[in-house]
Chain A
Amino acid sequence: AQSVTQLGSHVSVSEGALVLLRCNYSSSVPPYLFWYVQYPNQGLQLLLKYTTGATLVKGINGFEAEFKKSETSFHLTKPSAHMSDAAEYFCAVSDGANRDDKIIFGKGTRLHILP
């Protein structure tokens, strides 16, 4: 069964600094990987996804993530943090596009932006 581990339940960065949120996954087959963001009192919103092809994936709001099979990682980055990036971020994995596959989420990382 697939699983996701997010390193660090809380991450703080200064405004304008690099954002790096770490995610490692476990999957028995080539995975589909996702990052979702959750703002207070809202549902989850898709930031980006990797299915096949190019391993560097660009998403909304300037975020990107790189799939590294050898490291079983899918870390999320943004070159310059903005105050509006403060939110909870969830990494998620599934085993592909088969009908019975479900998306499994990590426990989340809360990103704090320091002025």
Chain B
Amino acid sequence: ETGVTQSPTHLIKTRGQQVTLRCSSQSGHNTVSWYQQALGQGPQFIFQYYREEENGRGNFPPRFSGLQFPNYSSELNVNALELDDSALYLCASSLNAGANVLTFGAGSRLTVL
């Protein structure tokens, strides 16, 4: 059973650029949630995808967007990057939507200069 894998592990961007982060969910899981973890903070919920449709969104602006593919992998896209977007972005998969146990990837660390 493979776990959740995220890519890239680290990346550096400049203000105004766009970034795409990728996540492969655990085998058998159909739901992916994305979280932003700023330095010294807890994970903040960005949004969740369930069977290729957005299923809930946290308090993040529209420049944060996502996709889920038929194989349940997912992408997080951030446009017009700002310095405050620097954070660890965590992807978590689960079996079905709702408050099930989340299986987390190791994250993608984004630095915006």
Contact = CB atoms under 8 A, between A and B. Distances in A.
Interface residues of A, number: 29
Interface SS of chain A: loop
Interface stretch (B13-21, B61-69, B71-79, B103-111): B103-111
A103 B45 contact: yes
A45 interface: yes
Contact of B43 (A46, A90, A96): A90
Contacts of B101: 34, 46, 49
Interface SS of chain B: loop
Interface stretch (A61-69, A79-87, A104-112): A104-112
Interface in B21-73: 33, 35, 40-45, 48, 50, 55-56, 58
B102 A103 contact: yes
A45 B106 contact: no
B41 A44 contact: no
B102 A99 contact: no
Interface in B85-109: 90, 92, 96-102, 104-107
Contacts of B40: 9, 107-108
Given A43-B106, A97-B98, A103-B102, 5 more contacts: A43-B90, A96-B99, A99-B55, A105-B35, A107-B40
7 contacts: A4-B42, A43-B90, A44-B92, A46-B101, A99-B55, A99-B98, A108-B40
Interface of A: 4, 6, 9, 32, 34, 36, 41-46, 49, 90, 94-108
